[in-house]
Amino acid sequence: MASSIKISRLISRSISSASSSTSLFSRGRNGGYPGGLLAKYSTAAVVDEQPIKPSVQVEHTQLLIDGKFVDAASGKTFPTLDPRTGEVIAHVAEGHSEDIDRAVAAARKAFDFGPWPRMTAYERQKIMLRAADLIEKHNDDIAALETWDNGKPYEQSRQVEIPMLVRLIRYYAGWADKIHGLTVPADGSYHVQTLHEPIGVAGQIIPWNFPLLMFGWKVGPALACGNTVVLKTAEQTPLSALYTTRLFHEAGLPPGVLNIVSGFGPTAGAALASHMDVDKVAFTGSTATGKVILQLAAQSNLKQVTLELGGKSPFIVCEDADVDQAVELAHFALFFNQGQCCCAGSRTFVHERVYDEFVEKAKIRALNRSVGDPFKSGIEQGPQIDAKQFEKILRYIRSGVETGATLETGGERHGSKGFYVQPTVFSNVQDDMLIAKEEIFGPVQSILKFKNIEEVIQRANNSNYGLAAGIFTENLNTANTLTRALKVGTVWVNCFNTYDAAIPFGGYKMSGQGREKGEYSIKNYLNVKAVVTPLKNPAWL
319 is catalytic: no
Q: What's the pLDDT tens digit per position in 355-414?
A: 999 999 999 999 999 999 999 999 999 999 999 999 999 999 999 999 999 999 999 999
What HEC string does 352-389 produce?
A: CCCHHHHHHHHHHHHHCCCECCCCCCCCCECCCCCHHH
pLDDT at 48: 62
Give the type of residue at 36.
Answer: G
Report d(CA 330, CA 470) in Å as an integer: 9
Give the type of residue at 257.
Answer: V
Q: Which of 289, 313, 269, 262 is nearest to 496 (CA)?
A: 313
Pairing type for strands 512-513 and 526-534 reads: unpaired
Q: Is 35 exposed, middle or buried (0-12, 13-18, 19+ CB in 10 A)?
A: exposed
Query: Of 146, 235, 308, 516, which residue is the catalytic one?
Result: 308
Give the type of residue at 5.
Answer: I
Orientation of helix 211-224 relative to helix 162-175, angle to 10°: 10
Report d(CA 195, CA 180) in Å as an integer: 7
Report d(CA 419, CA 232) in Å as an integer: 25
pLDDT at 36: 30
Residues of the chain with pLDDT below 50 are 1-6, 8-46
pTM over 0.75: yes
* Angle in degrees, CA 207, 82, 68, rounded to 5: 60
Report d(CA 267, CA 287) in Å as an integer: 18
